[in-house]
Structures are given as structure tokens and as C-alpha cells.
Amino acid sequence: MNNQQPSQQLADIAIVGVGVMGSSLARNFARNGYRVALYDRRAENVSKLIAEHGGEGEFVGCNDLQELAVNLSKPRRALLMVPAGTATDAAIDDLVEAFDEGDIIIDGGNSLYTDTVRRERAVALTGRHFVGAGISGGEEGALTGPSIMPGGPQESWESIRPLLESIAAKVDGAPCVRYIGANGAGHFVKMVHNGIEYADMQLIGEAYHLLRHGAGLEPSRIAKIFREWNDGDLASYLIGITADILEASDPDTGAPMIDVIHDAAGQKGTGRWTAKEALDLGIPATAIGEAVFARALSSSTELRAAALDHFPTGNLADFAALGISVEEFIEHVRRALYASKLVAYAQGFDLIAAGSAEYNWNINPRDLAAVWRGGCIIQAAFLDRIDNAYEKLPELPSLLLDSYFTGELDGLIDSWRTVAASAIRLGLAAPVFSSSLSYYDSLCSKRLPAALVQAQRDYFGAHTYRRVDSDGVFHLDWTGDKSQEQKR
């Protein structure tokens, strides 16, 4: 530390990185009565924020991190909102140098949870504290109330809790922020949140695609359908904004805005991280994986262009051949969307439970339902039902086994099958609808083809197999005397 003196009354929290999200969070803190110190490598970002929004509260612009440090009350608390990766590492190193023991560095970006674990260990060796906090809600949520998922030392949580609770979204008066667990727990949960988000967005896209290119409905009609859906079981942030999107027209041509947007979806990595983690932990998060692959396939524009006029499609049906009225089909799609969304959320909760067990985080699934009820992208009405499910049975093996959700699926399954079969007959890709149904059917199957897979593995690699009628593992001499089974 240097011997600089504070220029005015000390600030309660600092924002390092005053971009879109950092600026919105700074304003949120200020609106809630906190004095906010600001620093950005681009000094003009700080100047712009103070010039445009200085009337919303008290801001302290700082030229460097040393000045930032002397203008913060102790324990110092700084929220990093810089790009994930090397920029985050560099900012942490600089703050460790400027801060004292007991001060708290919070990473609010989309960092990979393993990086957060590494950083927390390194910062702890210096006597400083490090918190990895997942923040969801985008620019608007950051300003008006995000969903926040902090992980790190319990002592740090108690210090930052009043600040985070004040700026978080509120549902029924309760702030959408809970302490998730040690070191990387918060960023792990935010990663899976984003994976569920990938699946949810893809499912909504598939529902739109079937209504538009299957039933032949115009975007304005589909927008009204989504508005109606948003008043029922499907009520959610994403359903609501989808209706807004489908109502929009291109200001230049007057065409539906959806028709002038290139159909190649981008991604920043959190969905891929989630799919990889599911593979590593052995959790069949098929809805998330298929959603990630769907984005990748959409961006394979040259391959798609080459296939368009060359791949045979077989005999495709037109909509009339399905023998379903448009209104019936709309209802089938609604039910299939609801069922598939339940699968995506269930798989996400399964993955979080596996990660919690693997890394000893003791994550409470009810906390996730509470945090995601408002402020975040995947906020949905049925999160209340998820909370109820885990309240009844904290060790619930799967959300789908909760009596409420099992009852819901009983009324959805026939429509789910109708939609999956219709998509195939129409030649319209619906990978997450289909994979979610396959996941469900696999869970319901008395026998799976895995018995044959195990036999194949033992045949070519002597990998052994288990029997249904006795304990232990066995190997059979498949190419010789097949009566020579060996117990191993």
C-alpha cells in the first residue's frame, strides 16, 4: 500500500471493469445507497458513467488500483467485472498487491470454476479472500436486480452479504442470492445455469420452428401463442422475450425481424463447459449436450450449404398428412415443450448434485430454486415446484421422480411423442425435443441395450461384465469354448 489519502468519504465497494455489466452493477449499488469506487483500464468508461449517471448515487472515480484501495472502507471489497481468463488473473494479481490481509476480491465474471478453485487457493495464501460469484440477468438484470451465486470463504460471504442482498432481484420479498459453497461452487452453479439456459433456448427455438415451418404459422401468430403460454405452466423470462422478438419487424424492410437474422448461433463457452463436466462426472445431461451441438451445427454454414441441395431427404410428409389440426398441434407442442424443459432442469440439478458430491460443496438444491426464481435468464414459474420437491425430499434422486412432476409428465407424454414423431415425418430437426424424450424413455425401460454393449466390450477387450443372477464380474471366452466363464 502507498501513503495516499482518501479524496472523500470512503466507498463501500469497488467495481473494477466498468463495461456494460460493471456499469449496471455500479449503478445498482449506488441506487441502493452504497458509495461505489470505480476503476477501469479505459478511464473514459469511468468518466462516462459518472457523467451520465452520477445523479443516481455517490461514485468515486479512481485512476489506478492504489487510489482505489485507499478510497475503500475495510475490509475492502472489490467486484471484478473483466473478461474471463488472463485478464481476470492479471486484475487479481494487481488487487492482491494493492489490498491488505482480510480484504475481499470478488470475481463476478463467467469464469470456469476450476480457475476459481485455483485462484481462491492462491489468494488465500496471501491472506486476502477470494469469492467467485456467478451473476445472471444480463445488462437489465445487473441494473434492476440480478440472480447472484457466490462461492468462497464463509467469512467473506458474511461480509458481502448485505451488499449483494440489497442489489439482487427480489421475489416475494426474498433476495435471489444465497451462499452456494466453498471455492468454485458459485461459478460451477452459474456454469450449469448457463447450460440449462442453452437447452431452454434451443427448445423454445425448436417449438417456434415446428409452428412456423411445420404448421405454417406466421411469426405474429406465434408471438400471440407464446404470450398465452407465458400465462400458464410455461411462464418464464425466455418465453416472454420470445413473444417480444416474434412481434418485432425489421425497420428497413418491414419483414419479421426473425427472418432477417442469420440462423447461426454464437456461444461464449459456458454451455460447452457444462457438457464437458457432465461427461467427466458421468451425468447424462443430454438436453444440454444436444443444445450445444445444435449451436455448433447452426454455425457450420458451409457444410449446411453443401448439404442443402445434395442430401436425399426421403419421402417427407406435409402438415396435412399428419392428421392433426393446427390448434391440436399447437397444444401438442406446448406440452412437449413443458416436458422437455422439465428434463433439462432435472439434468442440470443432477449435474450440480454430482459436482457438489465430487468437490464436497454441500450445495442445497433448494437454494438454487430460490436464487433462480428471479433476476436470471432461466427464471420460470415451476421453480416454486422444484423448491417444494426438494423440501419434501432433500435427497430426491431426480426431479422427475417427484410426485408433482411425475403427475405432470403423465399428461404430457402422448403429446411429447406426437411432436417428436411429427418432426421426423416433416423433416424438421428437433434434437433437444427428441433427445429429452429418449432420455425419459431410457429411464422408463426395464432393459437397455447396454447388456449387448457390455458383451461386445468383453468380447474384444476382456473388459468383463456383471450378471443379473449373481454378484461379481465375469469374463467369457467368446471365440473358444463358450461354457468357460471365469469369475474375476
Q: Which three cell numbers stand for residue 247?
A: 412481434
Instruction: Give the strand pairing for 170-171 and 174-175.
Output: antiparallel
* Contact (Cβ atoms closer than 8 angstroms) between residue 380 and residue 236: yes
The Cα 416–Cα 427 span in angstroms is: 17
| pLDDT for res 81 | 96
Catalytic residues: 190, 197
Q: Which residues of the chain have pLDDT under 50?
A: 1-3
Rounded distance, CA 49 to CA 433, Å?
Answer: 44
Helix (H), strand (E) at residue 131: strand 129-136
Q: What is the pLDDT of residue 7?
A: 57
Locate 331 and state its grid cell.
Answer: 397444444
Cβ partners under 8 Å of residue 341, min gap 6 = 199, 200, 203, 234, 380, 382
CA angle 434, 436, 442 (to 5 degrees): 100
Q: 75: cis peptide before it, omega within 30°?
A: yes
pLDDT at residue 1, as a whole number: 41
Grid coordinates 421422480 are at which residue?
A: 401
Q: What pLDDT is recorded for position 2?
A: 44
